[in-house]
Chain A
Amino acid sequence: MTRPLLRLSGLTKAYPGVVANKDVSFEIHPGEVHALLGENGAGKSTLVKTIYGLVKPDSGTMTLEGNAFTPAEPRAARAAGVAMVFQHFSLFDAMNVAENIALGMENPPPQREIAAQVRQVSDQYGLPLDPDRVVGELSAGERQRVEIIRCLLQDPKLLIMDEPTSVLTPQEVAILFETLKQLSAEGTAILYISHKLEEIRTLCDNATVLRLGEVVGECDPKATSAREMAELMVGSKLHVPEKAEKPAGETVLALQNLSAPAPHQFGTALRDITIDISKGEVLGIGGVAGNGQDELVAALSGEMRVASDMVHFQGQPVGQMPPNARRKIGLLAAPEERMGHAAAPDMSLTENAIMTATTRENLTSKGFLHWAKARRFAEGVIKDFDVRTPGPANAARSLSGGNLQKFVIGREIMQAPDVLVVNQPTWGVDASAAAAIRQALLDLAAKGAAVICISQDLDELMGISDRFAALNEGRLSAPRPAQGLTVEEIGLMLGGAHDMEVAHVDA
């Protein structure tokens, strides 16, 4: 057996009131793909932050290639050959890809050289990315490529990946895995954090399972069933959203040849989208990020006006209606980006409730706000959707991503819409909160509303949708019943591995 690349022994880290890591020990060997499994709050993040130098352990030691490894800050960890791709990206929207990558470097070479390196690495590992594009215009999937390439340019010995597949299609996942396998064959160790068990079974050589901060088991994922790992990880059964059987209702929203030019340089034009959505139905729309999802939501919410008869709501043409007029008749939406789009970060939750609920909840009279009523509405959302916050006077930015997402979705559902459009409703949300949000969407549909759920999480879409359609370059595929669709069929609907190619493994 080779000498371990990284050895953790007895790592313990306590925060006031909670032990995040308790006596955690394991080893990672060069070229090994090591899975770190565990539910949200199991201590995975604290552990990898310790390795990456963001957290200092209370006790315990780490060795890297036999030498003591005590990174005081991420810079030291990077210098030692540890790189990390975070689940939430740390990129500057206003800068282009190459500039963002330069920012993470100690002594960045000239822009042109970085751009050349980005092209070379992206070609080598099959991660297409134009170094001159502005990050603000990139989709979530593309932003992740920036983070991965940024790490690969450091030529790391150990690459830590935190939930990398939450924004990818099956084909993109397959290609990412090719990239990771190629890296592993070149001797790079990978610490892979996920709670998607099937992924781990296909990719990883070893797995360490954490629960409540402790190592509760190690296993060879290829020889262990997903069920066994799940039991180790959760300790109990996860809540699976329940779908009620219901007959098809009458059409409530009809899109007829919905087309719109791209709203900005890097946007996607919508092309000839035609679909009818009935009462009580959940329509799942899949697709790789940047294929028109944001534009479709904008066309439905009223942020982007389209020709009047392209969108019919209960027989009435509404394509030209502004957002609040659409809310009035019952067409509501929740966009993907929580901070700054679906919610105003610096405003209180009460004010964020006013943002979209004014029309339907009658929060104004003659333009004057009913603060008490708005506060009660916000409190109702907080209570019914289990938003963890001291109260509605807190700023939206003080909430964690999952909690804010519950608030944003809850705010729309509480207004009893006839049609609700949600985009990535559970991205970056922990498993139990995600289950709660999905259940709330299903409950809404059970009451007779139509729900359009746009997501890149296919498990989510398969779990809640009655019909499934895919967006590809602004076109919507013909919808098909979600029941019985296979991963391969979905892949074909998504238009194959859009904009991706398999890594050149021969290198």
Chain B
Amino acid sequence: MITLEKRPQPSRIWSLATPLLAVLLTMICGGLLFAALGKNPFETIRTIFLDPLFSEFAWFYRPQLLIKGAPLVLIAIGLSFGFRAGIWNIGAEGQYIVGAICGAAVGLAFYPTESFIIFPLMIIAGILGGTLWAMIPGILKVKFGTNEILVSLMLVYVAEQLMASMALGALRNPDGMGFPGSRNLSQYPSAANLEIISGSGMHWGVVTALIAVIFAYIALSRHIFGFNVRLAGQSPRAAKFAGVNPTAMILICMGLSGGLAGAAGLFEVAGPAGQISIDFNVGYGFTAIIVAFLGRLHPVGILLAGGLMALTYIGGEIAQSNLGLPLAAIQLMQGMLLFFLLAVDVLTNYAVRFGRRQVV
């Protein structure tokens, strides 16, 4: 018989090993899945996990890694504060969209003036937009006790509709011959989120994401704010006794995650995406939830997890085009990753014993 025994304290080794174990299990079960689909499992796994980095065309894929990873990391860092404090903002996708709309709107308002101040203003507008969108579930929770999970999630769909209306209405390119979508910001120098080193994929969003990782690390390990966030998540009553104001904590965490999601949206719309369009959002806000947990809500972990997730995205695209693998299979594998991560997490807090239960 197998029994689980609660450890007196969480195992440090297992808390580091479980993400790796989860990746390994995902590779094994994903391989079985691909084999069942009639593909060579080893080739498929290699295509997804290694080809983006080491294949003949890696020069093309490596910048993609930064472009896809940066918004994931940026959003996940913001979410990790709320998740640690027990505040569940599931609507980062919506905050990402609203941040992009607000930032793009500011940029387009100045068109075609050229000034160095425009891009910083757009960043501020993006952050404000995301923050305000996140304040809706935050304030409703504080004032009326609504569930922030439901409200933030439902506001994603509102944001999507808002974006569609913007792409078709207020922000539509006047010179676009009636096609939906805004002017292309990447062709408007003052508003473009350009690559800092050409061909590297290193745009301002990547820099911001790295700065966010460093700030989050310092806040969580060295600052009383990070301490209060962790305390509020682990023991709400103890946090209140320690003097943490729960209302302020909810608003700060919602605002922080919304603000970073909004910034991610702005960097995307002004750079890789280029314009507000109906299909602007591709699910970074949701995938970032996985990234946050895959990284154990730890800033460095999130950085690594964001990279891994970007890898499976790019590798998944290669596998789709080169091996003819269906998109659903790739998504299934990404889902497995989170599932295994949560499943093996039990090893951090529990020891597995084989054989008969020991009498205590």
Contact = CB atoms under 8 A, between A and B. Distances in A.
A23 interface: no
B237 interface: yes
Interface in B264-284: none
Contact of B359 (A56, A302, A333, A340): A56
Contacts of B242: 323-324, 355-356
Interface stretch (B123-131, B138-146, B223-231): B223-231
A323 B359 contact: no
Contacts of A55: 359-360
Interface residues of A, number: 35
Contacts of B359: 54-56
Contact of B234 (A337, A346, A354): A346
Interface residues of B, number: 22
Nearest to B244: A323
Contacts of A346: 9-10, 234-235
A394 B9 contact: yes
A355 B231 contact: yes
A347 B234 contact: yes
A291 B241 CA distance: 20
A344 B231 contact: yes
A323 B238 CA distance: 12
Contacts of A340: 235, 237-238
A367 B238 CA distance: 19
A303 B234 CA distance: 18
A444 B5 CA distance: 41
Nearest to B9: A395
A398 interface: yes
B224 A364 contact: yes
A315 interface: no
B243 interface: yes
A54 B234 contact: no
Interface of chain B, helix or strand or loop or mixed?
A: helix
Chain B CB count within 10 A is highest, among A343, A355, A369, A398, for: A355
B223 A367 contact: yes
Interface in A271-291: none
Contact of B8 (A333, A341, A367, A398): A398
B223 A343 contact: no
Contact of A367 (B9, B10, B225, B231): B225
Chain A CB count within 10 A is highest, among B230, B231, B239, B245, for: B231
B240 interface: yes
Contacts of B245: 322
A367 B240 CA distance: 18
B223 A323 contact: no
Contact of A324 (B8, B10, B243): B243
A344 B360 contact: no
A397 B8 contact: yes
Given A303-B240, A368-B223, A344 B235 contact: yes
Contacts of A355: 231, 238, 241-242
Given A367-B223, A395-B9, A398-B8, A347 B230 contact: yes
Interface string B131-167: 0000000000000000000000000000000000000
Nearest to B235: A344
B214 to A, nearest CB: 15
Interface string B206-240: 00000000000000001111010011001101111
A472 interface: no
A223 to B, nearest CB: 38
A134 interface: no
B266 to A, nearest CB: 28
Interface string A350-373: 010011101000001001110100
A181 to B, nearest CB: 34
A323 B239 CA distance: 11
A345 interface: yes
A343 B231 CA distance: 10
A323 B9 contact: no
A303 B235 CA distance: 14
Interface in A383-442: 394-395, 397-398
Nearest to A358: B224
A118 B182 CA distance: 69
A342 B235 CA distance: 10
Contacts of A394: 9
Given A369-B224, A371-B222, 6 more contacts: A303-B241, A323-B241, A324-B242, A343-B235, A346-B9, A351-B231
22 contacts: A56-B359, A303-B241, A323-B240, A323-B243, A340-B237, A342-B238, A343-B235, A344-B231, A346-B9, A347-B231, A347-B235, A355-B241, A364-B224, A367-B223, A368-B222, A368-B223, A369-B222, A369-B227, A371-B222, A394-B9, A395-B9, A397-B8
Question: What are the nearest 4 A-B pairs in CB distance?
Answer: A323-B243, A324-B243, A395-B9, A344-B235
Interface of A: 54-56, 301-303, 322-324, 327, 333, 335, 337, 340-347, 351, 354-356, 358, 364, 367-369, 371, 394-395, 397-398
